[in-house]
Structure 1
Amino acid sequence: MVNNSIQSLESNALVLILEELKELQNTLNLLLGCRQEGGKSGHWAARINRAFFIFYVTTVSLFLSLIFTAWNT
């Protein structure tokens, strides 16, 4: 009788854990699905980030070279 009640408690706990894991998996699937659907906006964001980085590096390099030139003259 004691073994049956312990096994029953353990199986109930395992069922609850399994249900929580299924809920987490569904949540992750929803989140990842939204990311994959937003591929077009993600692509544009990546292009804008790349363009901004190139603009930033160019501007900083030009600024530092002009400061260096002004300092040495």
Structure 2
Amino acid sequence: MPNSDLLPSLLSKLYENQLALEASIMELSNWVEQRGSADVADNIRGALHTIDENEEFIKLTLGVLMAPD
């Protein structure tokens, strides 16, 4: 596989990791909130909002990079 073919695959795996981390962090924020730290949970959700905002762009860009020439 040429190096130029590796970039889309790498970015796809990084994107999958990002989604997994997002889900894990959301679970932790729910756990924190249930234990009375609503402010901390809100801060976590604020940071996760950035991931949500960038998710569609990343997904579309990966689609373009992985499209056949």
Give the structure with higher Rg (CA): 1
TM-score, length-normalised on structure 2? 0.48
Higher helix content, 1 or 2: 1
Tell me: higher relative CO, structure 1 or 2? Use CA pairs within 8 A at least 6 residues apart: 2
